[in-house]
Amino acid sequence: MATATSNMHVAIAKPFTFPSCEVSKSSVAVFSGGIREASWTKLKSSCHISSTHVISQNIASSPVKFNRLVTKAISESNDTKPLPGLPIDLRGKRAFIAGIADDNGYGWAIAKSLAAAGAEILVGTWVPALNIFETSLRRGKFDESRVLPDGSLMEITKEVAESVKEDFGSIDILVHSLANGPEVSKPLLETSRYGYLAAISASSYSYVSLLKHFVPIMNPGGASISLTYIAAERIIPGYGGGMSSAKAALESDTKVLAFEAGRKHRIRVNTISAGPLGSRAAKAIGFIDMMIDYSSENAPLQKELSAEEVGNAAAFLASPLASAITGTVLYVDNGLNAMGVGVDSPVFKDLNIPRDNQR
């Protein structure tokens, strides 16, 4: 366990082009932490977000273009001594996280966990969400989530940087937190070809494209992480428009990419199957609150999943502690994936099903 001091700067980098996704402006935030003594409960950090621009995606077929989008985190600690015990130490590592649009989703949580472990964070946001993101920051809507472990408030400054490669040289961690299905509310049988292919393009192929373009500047031994959902392998009524197919493709691609990126570049590739979270993006589906309640009633661990728990799992996968883990789907869902039936069904009313009496 350790006490960390982190300094966050958001920077913007000039365009980076990816086939299949177009990022016009990019939002960038930087988190970094220099870890010192013992105790994650006393993480001290002082962050600066230097600017907000976004990742825009053109679902059609035009290349994805990241325009000025980078966040830079600078650690204030020069301590390079090994930490005691078995901590997650990402000091000296740099991560790029694609797909952050607000402060209550998994992307933001992953950024904070990586920063708490000492990593420098570069963040990209969807172009359509840029105005909302910047306005929310300006009006103080993110103030509560900007509060750091030591009680200080993350400061925001303005900076402009060159492209990721020119300005930062290389990265060690790549996180894909992008998903979109324009017809997600439609049953699969009613989904159009456009809607289906758009979901696959934005939610699955975008990861292939992202990794393809970042691999050349990733240091050997690096890690890439994406986010998937149990709908990839189980039926989730209401999660339509080809999104279940897109998540299934993402999980399959994770295995193939783990082989190819591992053999050619010594990069590990994993995906986290996260449980339901009431983020802004998830609320667009329309039934996320029901899924959260269902999970609480039926998962082995009867509690609401927090974004921080997923962020911490990502920090582990990105760290040397997971150096032999690749091609894996890591479930962070309170164990819901292990259930074969919903135990809250009236069918089981006469069974003596154990419950968490401390809820």
Using one digit for the tens of pLDDT, what is the confidence trace for 157-167? 335 233 677 77
Distance CA 271, CA 225 (A): 5
Q: Which of 214, 195, 204 is nearest to 66 (CA)?
A: 214
How far, CA to CA in Å, does 60 sit from each of 19, 24, 66, 187?
10, 15, 16, 22
Query: Per-residue pLDDT for 72 more than 50?
Result: no
Instruction: Kindly list the structural domains of the chain, giving each domain's residue range(s) and its CATH number in brackets, ordered by start.
Output: 94-276+305-332 (3.40.50.720)
**Mean pLDDT to the nearest integer, 63-88:** 52
H or E segment at 297? helix 288-298
Q: Do 177 and 110 touch, CB atoms closer than 8 A?
A: yes
Alpha helix positions (H), 34-182:
106-116, 130-138, 143-146, 164-168
Amino acid at 36: R
Lowest-confidence region among 2-16, 220-234, 273-287: 2-16
Query: Of 51, 14, 67, 74, which Cα lies nearest the Cα of 158?
Result: 51
Which pLDDT score, from 0 to 100, does residue 151 have? 58
Give the pLDDT mean for 11-23: 38
| Selected catalytic residue, list 65, 209, 247, 319 | 247
- Comparing 166 with 130, the larger pLDDT belongs to 166
The model scores a pTM over 0.85: no
Query: How confident is the model at residue 86, as a pLDDT?
Result: 80
Q: Which residues contact 34 (CB under 8 A, 6 or more apart)?
A: 4, 5, 6, 75, 76, 77, 78, 79, 91, 118
**Position 203 confidence tier, pLDDT thresholds 50, 70, 90:** very high
| Average pLDDT of the segment spanning 329-348 | 94
To the query of whether residue 165 is one of the catalytic residues in this protein, the response is: no
Catalytic residue among 204, 209, 273, 279: 204
Q: Is 186 a catalytic residue?
A: no
Q: Which two tokens stand for residue 7?
A: 């300094």
How far does CA 113 lie from the centroid of its chain?
10
Residue 329 has pLDDT above 70, yes or no: yes
